[in-house]
Amino acid sequence: MSNSSPYSSEQFVNDEADNEISRLEEQARVRWPQEVLVLRNAGLKAGNSIVDIGCGPGIITEYLAKEVDESGLVVGIEKNEMLYSLATTRTATYNQVQIRNYDACDLIEVNDNSFDFAYVRFVLQHLPDPNKLLIEAHRILKPGGKLIVMDVDDSLFHITPYHQELAQFLSEVSKGQDNYGGDRYIGHKIPCMMFDAGFTQIHTSVYTFTSKNISPQEFLDITTKFKIDLLDPALKDWGNDVLNEIYRKSQDGAFFGTAGVYCVIGEKEM
């Protein structure tokens, strides 16, 4: 097992990082209208404090800053040096934002009972021991504070026309993520993990988005293209052939794709 995920401090440093950041920006653009409703329904409002754990290049951190306004506080946590720098630059004009270069699983410099909300978005799937992050999130939340987690579960992904080798492709991708301790099927496991971390009032929803309102290419770019990098190097030529065929068929006018994420909300007891 490798000790470093694609977003660890040792990775995400080459030219391909620019492509991944573009994908994350597009992913955020597509999903944010749905996500912000979840956050608002959970009670997030102007004046609140929220920690964005594993904030990456700060795309969502900036959105959160607009939600809590200047009367609130957003703290972005990012271990990767490049992403930390990008997040710092992106949010530099927001007085209510702080970006800290910490390990998401070891927030030793963050005080207990500090935040109204914690947001963990597509982070747990990358961690060898996601329970550590959940325990830390519980520690730094105020009594009555809420943790909101969104993450993947590839069992919610499907397309038509269906490529005969897609199931094998997804299986090999999952093995690749398993290799460094990640889990592309973590979504359905999160509620029980949050319970074990001490959270109560746990509520789970599944949110889907489809290719209905974006182009087939955009849908595949957001949900599938990056998975090539998770394949064993010996399988990448095969994986590219599968993916290229899926892209080709998606241009025939009969393509439809659906993908989903789990959203789990838990509270820290008063």
Q: Which two tokens stand for residue 125?
A: 């799937």
User: Does the pLDDT value for residue 227 go beyond 90?
Assistant: yes
Q: H or E stretch including 98? A: strand 97-100
Backbone angles phi, psi at 39, to 5 degrees: -65, -45
Q: Are residues 61 and 91 in contact, defined by beta-carbon separation less than 8 angstroms? A: yes
Mean pLDDT along residues 153-179: 95
Could you give the residue ranges of the DSSP H alpha helices within 116-234?
130-140, 166-179, 190-196, 216-223
- Integer CA distances (angstroms), 226 to 6, 21, 52, 113, in order: 11, 11, 23, 37
Average pLDDT, the chain: 92
Helix 16-41 to helix 59-68 angle (10° resolution) is 30
pLDDT in tens, 54-104: 999 999 999 999 999 999 999 999 999 999 999 999 999 999 999 999 999
The helix or strand, by DSSP H or E, that contains position 208, with its residue range, turns out to be strand 200-210
- pLDDT band at 213, cuts 50/70/90? confident
Whole-structure pTM value:
0.91
| Domains of the chain and any CATH numbers | 16-153+183-210+261-267 (3.40.50.150)
- How high is the pLDDT of residue 43? 98
For residue range 92-150, list pLDDT tens digits in order. 999 999 999 999 999 988 999 999 999 999 999 999 999 999 999 999 999 999 999 99
